[in-house]
Amino acid sequence: MKILGVKALSIPEIKVIRFARFMDQRGYFTETYRDTDLNGIGELVSLSKAVFHQANESFSRAGTIRGMHFQWNPYMGKLVRTVSGRMIDLVLDIRKGSLTFGCMIAYDMPSVREYDWGEWIWVPPGFAHGNVFTEDTVIEYMCTGQYNPKCEAGISPLAADIDWRLCDRGLKAVFEETAKYSKLITDKDKGAVGVKGWADDPRARNFDLKLL
């Protein structure tokens, strides 16, 4: 895995890892993941300590909105990439005690075959995760915890009390436009609590900043 660069987003715990594709007239080859290449990179301390227990693939039709999902017991960090199509990844800080608690950010992750690079986004425990898709899209994500339906919850991505001040304005506009017309969001996600509703839930103590 040839890593071209690592950058922190406006919530610095969220990292984007760019890796090389080796191109020729036939197409390209790439190693998308190798743990030894990620170990020892200062910006990726939380990722280098991660052990992945589950890998998922998801297909979403254009206009789909998913999120905002999170889990404890076990905690679940996610390493996510777009295989085909375009994903705008959504990340919401749910760490109680964090200066950016309740803030949402977005990152644009199209998959373009002509690019000589691909990207992962690393979302560690302590953040709710979701996506919006502007075209038919396949994504892959590796998880540091196995799915536990008894210890999962969500915050509606449509909640009025989400703080978008750190989010790219253009990507926020894409989300808002998609949310206006799309019916491709589950009732569970649409009807989930807002940020305050979750903060008042006793289970939110699992995401106290001091515990993560």
Count: domains in the chain: 1
176, part of any domain: yes
- The answer to whether the beta carbons of residues 143 and 54 sit under 8 Å apart is yes
pLDDT of residue 11: 97
54, part of any domain: yes
Q: What mean pLDDT, rounded, does the chain reach?
A: 96
Angle (CA) 91-93-94 rounded to 5° is 125
For 70, the token pair is 């999170």
Residue 29 has pLDDT above 80, yes or no: yes
112, part of any domain: yes
Residues of the chain with pLDDT > 90, as a percent, come to 91
- The answer to whether the beta carbons of residues 16 and 120 sit under 8 Å apart is yes
pLDDT of residue 20: 97
211, part of any domain: no
34, part of any domain: yes
CATH number at residue 72: 2.60.120.10
Residue 42 has pLDDT above 80, yes or no: no
Query: Domain limits at 110?
Result: 3-206
Active site residue 181: no
For 189, the token pair is 């996600």
197, part of any domain: yes
Which of 75, 107, 129, 141 is the catalytic position? 141
pLDDT in tens, 59-83: 999 999 999 999 999 999 999 999 9
Which of 28, 53, 69, 129 is the catalytic position? 69
156, part of any domain: yes
Active site residue 141: yes
212, part of any domain: no
pLDDT in tens, 140-199: 999 999 999 999 999 999 999 999 999 999 999 999 999 999 999 999 999 999 999 999
Angle (CA) 129-131-132 rounded to 5° is 155
